[in-house]
Amino acid sequence: MDTSPHRVSDVMTRAVVAVGRKALFKDIVERMEERKVSALPVLEGDGRVIGVVSEADLLPKEEFRDSDPDRFTQLRRLSDLAKAGAVRAEELMSSPAVSVHGDATLPEAARIMALRHVKRLPVVNAEGVLEGVVSRGDLLKVFLRPDNDLADEIRRDIVDVLFPAPVEPVHIVVSDGVATLTGRVRDAARIPLAARLVRGVEGVVGVDCRLAAAGSDAG
């Protein structure tokens, strides 16, 4: 049975705190503090995500509270200045929301976070309705998988499939997430593929592939 958490839905948080578009500034700050989160999805009445309000959206109110920005600053930071005077979620939120679907892979979610410079993503279904939230921390949970689980998956899904009848038994040792493969196999062409597939197993930190082909002097 495949137990590897390959999809966002496997690691996301399902019990999510969110706000409506009419939520007030202070209520948003209080909810963030209560739940220790840096951003909240903003929902329409049917649960559809219409935006996200983050700490970055709230900070301009403090930044510009007692300042009188010059014309250059006003032109350069029109959006921030507008948010400094906003009091409701619909005025503060970043919209449209940067979101992800539950069937997205973990690397896909990680790339979205990196490219869009966000720490959390609302997880939505095909209609845009909120199903959960995935954070950077959630994506890193795969590296907590036990070494034995990683070794079992590598043997079951990769080694036994690529090398069903090795010349010498293939030994798999995983220590602190680093997978080491040793043994002698018949098909040299499959060794680089095996290393690449092992590297792609969720939770594997590194790969030391010492497999050798039959007739090779490599140890």
Angle between helices 55-63 and 25-35 (to 10 degrees): 130
pTM for this predicted structure: 0.72
Average pLDDT, 10 consecutive residues per value, the chain (219 residues): 71 92 93 92 92 87 61 59 75 91 93 92 95 93 92 96 93 96 94 96 94 71
What stretches of the chain adopt beta strand conformation (E)? 19-20, 39-43, 49-54, 100-101, 120-124, 130-135, 171-175, 178-185, 206-213
Task: Check residue 5 and give its pLDDT.
Answer: 61
Task: Check residue 65 and give its pLDDT.
Answer: 58
Task: Check residue 1 and give its pLDDT.
Answer: 40
Written as six digits, the tokens of 25 are 């500034």
The rounded Cα 10 to chain-centroid distance in angstroms is: 11
Task: Check residue 60 and give its pLDDT.
Answer: 73
Please give the Cα distance from 100 to 173 (Å, whole number). Answer: 35
Contact indicator for 26, 163 with CB cutoff of 8 Å = no
DSSP symbol at 185: E
Task: Check residue 219 and give its pLDDT.
Answer: 43
Please give the Cα distance from 112 to 98 (Å, whole number). Answer: 8
Bond from prior residue into 146 cis (ω within 30 degrees of 0): no
